[in-house]
Structure 1
């Protein structure tokens, strides 16, 4: 196993969608079974784009050096499923899969690594930050701590209905609705869009969105028009079954039992306003949840995929992983 070739295991099959997670193991010699803390790492992509190979590999490597088993997971992509019944359900099922012993059974087939089920944490960027936070409510057993990098929260904030001109500027003219709506014809619902929100491909090269593909055209159209939440979770719109987003919005679900949580957000973020993270942080403090927040100077959205190891941004975002380490410790390296 290497950073280029992780182990891969399927944790769920639903309506023809086969959902897997990449498994990265700390490199150490083991003569007998040893338990390691586990970190769930969830990619971003506005809930509509992305794949497990589209995360910051330096972050994964940093976590491995802390002695953690890292699961970089996939989930079904909206809009063929909605936010609650697709991505959130899948990530919650992964957490249950781990706690039910299935990860250990897989690891036992691949050597002496074992999961320390008392020390499981969750981390995600952008949409993945939201999904990591969704493990802090409405699940039978929480992770021990959560790290959220510029996650999508506080859906009642007016920002979520605002146009984003820099995204609108790259859309080709005359995209027909009948074409972009072909995304709904993708059956089974995909878990891989091949290109991320930033245009990063599975090889790590930045290629930009491909507007000859309905999914890319659909996703960027909704992002540019401030229509993402309405498309991925129509029950949150006026007259819907969940008009206040109580089932999906972390800021509506911070209880006194919510896991310790750390937030990292760029001060120049134009894709998810930092005000939404500040509201989450305020509520965490109000509920007296152990928490912290780092605001990163000069950084726009998705900076984790671009930052240089050793830079100021790198060191600032590492504070979030240091926070997790306080709760789940280090593995036996």
Structure 2
């Protein structure tokens, strides 16, 4: 089966760099000219330092298209040349504003034979790993939050000791001789890149990580040594970026949220998502959580349609669909 194709749009420009979004459109439906198509923002993973919009799971995109949703898979600036709040989070929030202020509808309608109308009452956010955190960030500190969120094993609860704990199984993968000055090479990139390495979303590489790439070496070193959050948000003012803390602040005003997490995850422990789920329930937010047996981190990149894992993670999209009246 052919994979879905996309159109490229520019939603912002920073330092002369065009930051783009891949837009996947469902089949034309005359009935949707009245109600409009729900929109889902699909954000890639990569520890906030790696990846690109091209690496989102196309089977999940197809699932959303079959529901007659418009899918937007954005690129965003990658840390550490810009921090988590001012880079990835701000870019995703600017994309949301671009949708809500009508700019996306205007761009979409230009030269389009089939006029897709955007349903602004049903704009959802979805993301895997770091993309899950960014999806959650569209539920707080924005003028108009999304209507619902699907978070797949996104990092949260950044004051938990895990975020300063080395990971021996990742350390074992690091090269014996690191690249000289990989940190300075990454920080010197200008403009700050929106594409880098892999997303860590399960994409296979027969040769293993490309440690000739300074960005890959830098990112995996931070992960291995328990320094990810310090690298991407050195101020450590977690109130500004931690979804768990912001659920508590927003209370029942936080958007309905569904979480999917692999029970065997060693990169982002499932206990962190359980903490988030508990906070959502305590705040009175409509929510749900599915724990997927035996799955490690980044399983979204390799799962097969029709498997138990596939069916379980679809519960997140079903949850969002239930929010559409």
Shorter-chain TM-score: what band?
over 0.9
Moved more, 246-255 or 29-38: 29-38
Match of 2:10 in 1: 10
TM-score (norm 2): 0.94
Instruction: Report the counterpart of residue 64 of structure 1 in structure 2.
Output: 65
The alignment partner of 2:239 has SS state of coil
- Partners of 2:314 and 2:294 in 1: CA distance: 17
Distance 1:294 1:31 in 2: 33
Q: Please, which of 261, 268, 290 is the counterpart of residue 264 of structure 2?
A: 268
Unaligned runs of 5+ in 2: none
C-alpha RMSD of matched pairs (Å) = 1.7
Q: CA deviation at 1:18?
A: 1.5
Of 149, 167, 170 in structure 1, the residue corresponding to residue 170 of structure 2 is 167
Cα distance in 1 for residues equivalent to 2:22 and 2:285: 31
Aligned length: 318
Cα distance per residue 1:186-238 (max 9 Å; x no partner) = 100000014222573xxx866632111110110011010000000100000xx
1:160-185 deviation line (CA, Å, top 9, x unaligned):
11111221111111215623331011
Write the distance in 2 (CA, Å) between the matches of 1:319 and 1:232. Answer: 31
Aligned match of 1:314: 310
CA distance in 2 between partners of 1:40 and 1:164 (Å): 31
Gaps of 5+ in 1: 237-241
Kindly report which structure 2 residues correspond to 1:148-227, keeping only aligned pairs within 5 A, or say none.
148-176=151-179, 178-198=181-201, 200=203, 208-227=208-227
Alignment of 1:1-333 (within 5 A): 3=3, 5-28=5-28, 30=30, 33=33, 35-109=36-110, 110=112, 111-176=114-179, 178-198=181-201, 200=203, 208-236=208-236, 242=237, 245-254=238-247, 255=250, 256-328=252-324
Q: CA deviation at 1:16?
A: 2.6
For structure 1, which segment, 25-34 or 298-307, has the greater mean C-alpha deviation from structure 2 after superposition? 25-34
Does structure 2 retain, via aligned residues, the 8 Å contact 1:37–1:117? yes
Moved more, 29-38 or 44-53: 29-38
**CA distance, structure 1, for counterparts of residue 180 and residue 254 of structure 2:** 41
Counterpart-to-counterpart distance in 2, 1:257 and 1:32: 28
Tell me how far 1:74 sits from its aligned partner. 0.7
